[in-house]
Amino acid sequence: MTLLRDTDLACAFDHASRTYDRLTALNPGYRRDLLRSARRLRLARDGAGLHVLDLGCGTGASTRALLRAAPRARITAVDASSGMLRRALAKPWPAQVRFQHLTAEALTAAGEEPYDAVFAAYLFRNVTDPDGVLAAVRSVLRPGGRLAVHEYSLSGSAIHRALWTAVCHTVIIPAGTLSGDRALYRHLWRSVLQFDTVPAFSTRLSDAGFTGVRAAPVAGWQAGIVHTFLASREAATVNAEDAR
């Protein structure tokens, strides 16, 4: 199965941005599940004084979830698709939220200060080099900073694999065909089947140097299909001589 990648994928999202919010609204748990994943970051003090990165923000649904979970946090939201960003920017936002046109691969070149947390929703299936992106994410997180990845990652059960394919062929791909975006939604179907299972992505996170890795399923029909992966950058250790 050939997947869309890099520029081709960004262009597909540019075109789909016109109807993207309407199509995601067909999934009644879409925004609820994003909010649950954002809250799993457990950002203290409602995020006051914290700087959070929304990596792959799309039209802003994940940004809105972060804002609800941590209403006092400063949020930088980035995406590779200019079309998706235009849809996000057309919505009302408080002053502490800003958007930037940036690929995940170029994250370390942005020159940002370290982030206290990173939220990445529906991103890692779509990057060519997930290990490289994880390394970039780890490099921009402060020591002790937290990562939440909200992603289609199958449990490994044949039942969940079959359910995903059934939903795609009866709902998602037909809806995408009506909107003129069949290639993108076929990519969605295939990318989930080809992406890491929950154990494989958990191992990938650990291999990238993250600690405290754990995975939690979402509720409803997507249980076993969509998961929140939580991890941290190891906190800095203080040398006894330096502490004197």
pLDDT tens for 222-236 read 999 999 999 999 997
pLDDT, residue 242, reads: 52
- Rounded Cα distance between 131 and 54, Å, is 18
Mean pLDDT of the chain: 94
Give the pLDDT of residue 193.
97
Check residue 24 and give its pLDDT.
95
Tell me what percent of the residues of the chain surpass a pLDDT of 70. Answer: 95
What pLDDT is stored for residue 2 in this prediction? 78
In DSSP notation, 152-196 reads: E---S-HHHHHHHHHHIIIIIHHHHHHTT-HHHHHHHHHHHHHSP
Confidence grade of residue 191 (pLDDT, cut at 50, 70, 90): very high
pLDDT at 109: 72
Q: Can you tell me which residue has the tokens 């799993």?
A: 40
pLDDT of amino acid 238: 55
Question: Residue 152's Cα: distance from chain center in Å?
Answer: 10
- Tokens 């795609």 correspond to 168
Measured over the CA atoms of residue 47, residue 204, residue 6 and residue 157, the dihedral's sign is negative
Q: What is the pTM of this model?
A: 0.95
pLDDT at 4: 95
* CATH number for domain 27-154+196-235, candidates 3.40.30.10, 2.40.50.140, 3.30.70.100, 3.40.50.150: 3.40.50.150
Q: Is the separation of the CB atoms in 135 and 200 below 8 Å?
A: no
Q: Is 25 exposed, middle or buried (0-12, 13-18, 19+ CB in 10 A)?
A: exposed
Handedness of CA 38, 57, 141, 201 (dihedral sign): positive
pLDDT at 241 > cutoff 90: no
Q: Which are the contacts of 192, defined by CB distance < 8 A and separation ≥ 6? A: 125, 152, 153, 154, 164, 225
**What does the pLDDT look like over 4-55, one tens digit per residue?**
999 999 999 999 999 999 999 988 899 999 999 999 999 998 999 999 999 9
* In the predicted structure, residue 243 carries a pLDDT above the cut 70: no
Does the structure show a pLDDT above 70 at 1? Answer: no
Q: Where are the domains of the chain?
A: 27-154+196-235
**141-152 and 226-233 beta bridge pairing:** antiparallel
The answer to whether residue 207 scores a pLDDT higher than 80 is yes
- Whether residue 237 is predicted with pLDDT greater than 70 in this model: the reply is no
In the chain, the amino acid numbered 89 is: L
Closest to 137 measured CA to CA, from 100, 102, 105: 105
Residue 162: how many CB atoms within 10 A of its CB? 10
With CA atoms as reference, report the closest residue to 32 among 150, 118, 176, 156: 150
